[in-house]
Amino acid sequence: MYCNKNNYRMNNARFAISLHILTLLDKAKEELLSSDYIAGSININPVLVRKELSNLRNHGFVASKEGKNGGSYLAKPAHSILLSAVYLSVRQNNLLGTSKNTPNPHCPVGKQINTHLNNLYEATEAALIKELSGKSLAEFSMKFD
């Protein structure tokens, strides 16, 4: 048994990696896939795959079995995994990039910019999530020959 706290930071390739993993697991049906096998398909380091699997597990998308002949598998039907949920599981930052800047508080624009940017970002991200929520892993996976 392990207890972990992962701390990624950005919106990088994580969505792509997670979706790749989930698609492989869906295609594998009952069969368990090892992180090494998955890493070989994505062509990234196996440790990154395990970290991503850890996150996907925490969100209830996959389950893993430890030990010899262990591996991972989908923990719920692919049609019940919406791409919006996958996005939200890897999302850390605001989509359009948060300015970690502390704008000049003496400037009337600088003083309020972060509030207004955040409002804009929320609306924008909501549109994106809505779009993704119209697609499930099953639909995505089905596109592959």
Partner DNA sequence: TAAAACTGTAATAAAATATATTACAATATA
Partner DNA sequence: TATATTGTAATATATTTTATTACAGTTTTA
Q: Catalog residues that contact a second copy under the rule CB under 8 A.
A: 11-17, 19-20, 23-24, 27, 40-44, 83, 87, 95-104, 107-110, 112-113, 116-117, 120, 123-124, 127-128, 130-132, 135, 140, 143-145
Please work out, in degrees rounded to the nearest 5, the angle formed at the alpha carbon of residue 21 by the alpha carbons of 17 and 27.
145
Minimum CB separation of residue 1 from a second copy in Å reads: 31
Close Cβ partners of 11 (under 8 Å, ≥ 6 residues apart) = 90, 91, 92, 93, 95
Minimum CB separation of residue 38 from a second copy in Å reads: 10
Task: Give residue 117's identity as a one-letter amino acid code.
Answer: L
Minimum CB separation of residue 99 from DNA in Å reads: 7
Q: How far apart are CA 94 and CA 142, in angstroms?
A: 30
| Residue among 80 and 107 whose Cβ is closer to a second copy | 107
Cα–Cα distances in angstroms (integers) from residue 75 to residues 59, 109, 129, in the given order: 10, 48, 22
Q: Which residues lie near DNA (CB under 7 A)?
A: 1-5, 8-14, 33-36, 44-48, 50-51, 53-54, 57, 64-72, 97, 100-101
